[in-house]
Amino acid sequence: MKITILTLFPNMFSGIFDESIIKRAIDKKIVEINLIDFRQYSPDKHHHVDDTPCGGGAGMVLRVDILDKAIKENKTDNSHVILMTPQGTKYSQAKAYELSKYEDIVLICGHYEGFDERIRNYVDEEISIGDYVLTGGELGAAVVTDSIVRLLDKAINEESHLDDSFSNGLLEYPQYTRPVEYDGMKVPDVLLNGNHKLINEYRLKESLRKTYLRRKDLLENREFTKEELKLLEKIKKEEN
């Protein structure tokens, strides 16, 4: 996969992409990440990329002509172009899985007061990582990149993300490791007995419990299996 990030501040990504899973994925050539400073597409000698808003107002607005040129210079016929903006569709694990299937993604980082509305005509979709406003799209682009790369084949062990929170529509079950007992708190016995049928049932039940207690909204439109319904009834009785 190739991910191209159009940004005014490419150095913001250096620490993030030079460590951990993303760095290993780059080294293994699982993903190619290109950071493009779109100031280079400015036609004037001072490399201005913005201008005052038409009609007046505070701040500066990114110019459509410069971003259009930057997009065209960095996309291919297979590229999926994404604009990072608070007005976009809220990002989710399901979207991360969807994007991980593309061969080529271009992420555009807005900045300053915003961007010329006409830029929207040159992108395939708009994404927001949450209902808040950042100084620019760089952090959002980093989040999207990280969430995609970890899903790519051989980036990490597939089992490591199959049970992630939201992967199956539920929050992840509790995890434990050694020491078995610490400060009066003990690892649940069911996880120590080697009975994988009981372990899987326990994990499903606790995943449902966490979701029921913390994110009931995730259960509203869920199509439950018979086993899940039975476990959920037990959970409700235990918690009420």
Q: Which residues are catalytic?
A: 86, 113, 150, 164
Alpha-carbon distances, residue 81 vs 13, 29, 38, 125, 201 (angstroms):
19, 22, 15, 7, 42
For residues 4 and 36, is the Cβ–Cβ distance under 8 A?
yes
Handedness of CA 223, 227, 233, 236 (dihedral sign): negative
Sheet holding 32-37, edge to edge: 32-37, 2-7, 104-109, 79-90, 125-128
| Cα gap 47→181, rounded to integer Å | 61
